[in-house]
Amino acid sequence: MFLWWFVDPFTAIALTVAYIIGFVVLIVFAGLLAPKVARRFAGKFSLQASMMIIGLLVIVAGLAGVGLTAYILAGVLGEQLSAGVIVGILTFVLVLNIISYLISPLTINILYGAKPSAQLQEIVNSVARRLGMSRPPKAVVVHGPPNAFAYGNILFGKYIAVTDSLLEIVNRDELEAIIGHELGHHKHRDNAIMLFMGLIPSVLYFIGITLIRMGFISGYARAAYGERRREGVGGVALILAGALAVILSFIVQVLILAFSRLREYYADTAGAMAAGVRSMQRALARLHVFYNSYEYAKDAIARSKIKALFIYALTEVYANPFYRRTPPYREIREVDIDRVVEELKKREVSDVSEFFSTHPAIPKRIRFLETLYYKPHTTIA
């Protein structure tokens, strides 16, 4: 395709614009549909059953997509060449993700200036024992707006990171609830699960884009050499197969976003088990108050590569390691947080406000926690 910029720049520009528009459209629809999918499943099944069903749908859709595109590709290029293309794409995506997975803890520790904390480690150890974890993760304090996240791997070990500003606005019970939430992510192996899930739409998307490019190159080459029209059918088949793979990657991405939301509810149950339902609700409400009371805090927060790890995340609200301004934390601590919890229970949240977020809105999470121990099948509204 690179050569087209010299041979046929107008076609190259048109295709590039089409790629960009198509990608943006898919992202927008994925962000809008994911909350609806999560709510629909959670309204009919238990939390565990919903996660299992969506997870299986993601895997089945991924296998079906790869199998179907491989079958179409084999009919055009032959089995041996098509197998080489598919294996090459699988290897490329897998290697990139494995490298990212292996170096991410080191990158996070350096970027966020993670520092061990004996006091925080003691709290993490205590909460871990309550959750039945024999080997607690390492506790570190990082700089940034109030937030917390769990990360790690088999090389560098597991970590629980809490920002210095979060320690300023929560009390001991709320901190234990937040740590319980993050320990829940480790206990439920969310980092590994989401890494695996993320591979599926990536593979489908790369396969789709590759086939579309191959189809256009094939058609362009045949036209340039004056070959007969019927010989270009293979190129059309490749383009259609590629488009199918891209669309399927979008569908899988919607399911994964819904799955990610359910994993956050699942982690909230661990926080509630560790410190009580009310403490978990108060902790979430405290974060909500902070980010909705101080506009400059939002201005200081930018997009992050690890946005899916944070306990608090909205469309435009991601922790930034270069955050510097110091808000009046005492005011946050003095808020009547129980009143805030009651207000948030009644607040309706539109799906648009959760656009392309891996986390459910705080009011939804608080309502989920409210019913957690009273109904065997909770409804996430």
C-alpha to C-alpha distances, 331 to 92, 159, 195, 236, 334, nearest whole angstrom: 50, 30, 39, 63, 5
Q: How many angstroms separate the CA atoms of 154 and 102, rounded?
A: 8
Q: What is the CA radius of gyration of the chain?
A: 24
Q: Taking CA 45 as the corner, what is the angle to CA 43 and CA 48, rounded to the nearest 5 degrees?
A: 120
Which positions are annotated as active-site residues? 182
Q: In what order do the strands lie in the sheet with 148-153?
A: 115-116, 138-142, 157-163, 148-153
Instruction: Please choose, from the candidates 266, 291, 282, the residue with its C-alpha nearest in 3D space to the C-alpha of residue 380.
Output: 266
Helix axes 233-275, 362-371, angle to 10 degrees: 60
Name the residue type at position 188: H
Pairing of strands 157-163, 138-142: parallel
Q: Is 152 left (phi over 0), alpha (psi -120 to 50) or beta?
A: left
Locate 244 and state its tokens.
């199918």
